Structure 1
């Protein structure tokens, strides 16, 4: 995931469109013309009723009245895939960066084989997928007349106005779009129960240690905000202690992850550090720096390393549930 700085919350889209229905042909027999005419009128009326019951109109975050088909089959909702998977829905394309080389690894058991689409959703790429419904994560993704362009391809529904929308609200709204409100509420309930049980386990086994999540990518370090992504899980849902450095940086943060210098990392008063290492394949040279080795959690041998293919960089019922699992595995021996 690439929620860096202003959280390029990498554009999320779902493609949706109206289903077409065919009319039965009228009989050719001359003696049945009048009856056929009546039948055709009734059939036309039935078709209209069918369309009304098989589609619904919802107002999205931008105030657009969007006609949602009952059973969209070709959905584009990039960077909202966590919500789709949680509801048992497969999109026609999945979010990616680096020309499709990088995807949301933690979802690949469910999304394996799904074609990739660039995170910024070029119109041509979207059109080639022939979506029948498009779901966008935020209004920023459709600024500057983009909404009208996407909406010409397929009905387009915008989830929220903010760049960083509350994941619970996102899941609820996606559930509403697909008529899966009950499934969405169950996923939320299951997650809350999981978090509650994990919090009790942590308190019983390790007390309330201070923790932080750091992302190494391109030789630079980024630290997660305290109320977004894995930060919201650690400090909010699990009630783990938030270091002063995290509080300080979060107060000025504009996105999920904010760059932090090695000099500042040395001041990081965290007993445990969760390190997402995107530089492993290139040698992770920054981890050999003397300043890194002076970070308190590093000196104490309490660094828990993860690959970017895991869920630390993302958010949602599935991502957050996996983060909880990883916190437990790391802290509870």
Structure 2
């Protein structure tokens, strides 16, 4: 039963992240009109903002009971604790557990009754699907509801800045982003010193099945865009036809994996990780060369945000820079 719950957790995480990125290919002409961030004075008073769906939302002054399910990375980075945190099958974003200790959970699909029970004074939604149909009207009856929209929600940087704008913390959000960019720049320089030109990938093992991270999304964006590691040809090939953060990879393609370094997120630790005993896995050059770095499924590698990505950078440096 325990393994079954873990399997449901990781697959639901994958589903939610796929929805999170559903509009990556959206035409930029659909981007909502920019709105000016409130000044310090405005932040202490009620103000109105238009969200991605065109709704004019009245943001309360200094909201104290904020619900922003699956956007907790941004809240924590801005020093804000939500009234409840995202969960699925009682599993949460473990990499944030120290910051969210004691915060009750709410189911990922945000049942109206559960949302009402937390008495939020502001609700921030991510993608459009979270408020499809009559959901927006229902949530808006509970509390002012602001939707980031697919285009913004698919980019953690834009999402962080928009959440900061909504909360009257634009300056803080920019400082968080600037600090991350500096950390990534310094980490990239260190990696260039010891692994220049070398390639890497992140692979997720779930119930004996393998998934490879996209070359443009999630932790793949950190590896390739932020840290400058080379993209293996197999990863390029699968990413070109894949649609999510993580895409299934067959054993045949694994046999062609040309990565110098593999970051393995292992959800099968408790069941013995049988797939890692397969001769095909064992024959991968990075495996034979001892260049596989293993992490549990509670790791930040399955998420995205200033905090998650910062932790990923730490993991990469500890693994590669000796």
Q: Which TM-score applies when normalising by structure 2?
A: 0.87
- Between the aligned partners of 1:298 and 1:210, the Cα distance in structure 2 is 14
Change (3 A) 1:51 1:173: closer
Q: Secondary structure at the match of 2:99?
A: helix
2:52 aligns to what?
61
Distance 1:86 1:213, change over 3 A: same
> Which deviations, in whole Å up to 9, do the C-alpha atoms of 1:235-289 show, x marking residues without a partner?
0011100001111111112111111112211111101100001111122111111
CA distance in structure 1 between the aligned counterparts of 2:203 and 2:286, rounded to whole angstroms: 12
1:145 matched to 2:156? no
Q: Name whichever of 317-326 and 279-288 sits farther off.
A: 279-288
Matching residue of 1:23:
none
Partner of 2:79: 88
Deviation at 1:9, TM superposition (A): 3.6
Pairs within 5 Å for 1:21-60 = 54-60=45-51
Query: Is the radius of gyration larger for structure 1 or structure 2?
Result: 1
RMSD over aligned CA atoms reads 2.0
SS at match of 2:98: helix
Q: What's the offset of the Cα at 1:94?
A: 0.6
1:149–1:185 distance in 2 versus 1, CA, 3 Å? same
Per-residue CA deviation, residues 33-90 of structure 1 (Å, 9 max, x unaligned), is xxxxxxxxxxxxxxxxx99962110000111000001111111111100000000000
1:176 is paired with a residue whose SS is helix
CA shift for structure 1 position 209: 1.2
**Partners of 1:95 and 1:117 within 8 A in 2:** yes
Query: Structure 1 residue 74 and structure 2 residue 81: aligned?
Result: no
Q: Does residue 219 of structure 1 match 2:208?
A: yes
1:22-42 CA-partner distances (Å, limit 9, x unpaired): xxxxxxxxxxxxxxxxxxxxx
SS in 1 for 2:59: strand
How far apart, in 2, do the equivalents of 1:165 and 1:172 lie? 13
Any conservation in 2 of the 1:62–1:161 contact (CA below 8 Å)? no
What residue ranges of structure 1 are gaps of 5+ in the alignment? 12-49
How far, CA to CA, are the matches of 2:177 and 2:95 in structure 1?
Answer: 19
Relative distance call for 1:256 and 1:10 in structure 2 (3 A) is closer
Q: By how many angstroms is 1:10 displaced?
A: 10
Distance in 2 between the 1:118 and 1:10 partners? 20
2:4 maps to what in 1? none
Alpha-carbon shift at residue 124 of structure 1 (Å): 1.5
- Which residue in the other structure is 1:128 paired with? 117
1-structure distance, mates of 2:309, 2:42: 38
Deviation beyond 6 Å, 4+ runs, structure 1:
50-53
> 1:164, CA displacement in angstroms?
5.3
1:112 to 101, 105, 111: 101
Unaligned residue ranges in structure 2 (runs of 5+): 1-9, 23-40
How far 1:122 sits from its partner (Å)? 1.4
- Matches of 1:180 and 1:109, distance apart in 2: 22
Secondary structure in 2 matching 1:54:
coil
Are 1:247 and 2:236 an aligned pair? yes
Kept in 1: contact 2:200–2:259 (CA 8 A): yes
Secondary structure of 2:58's counterpart equals strand
1:220 CA displacement: 1.2
* 3-state SS, counterpart of residue 243 of structure 2: coil
Which sits farther off after the overlay, 217-226 or 85-94? 217-226
Equivalent residues in 2 for 1:129-208 (5 A)? Answer: 129-162=118-151, 165-208=154-197
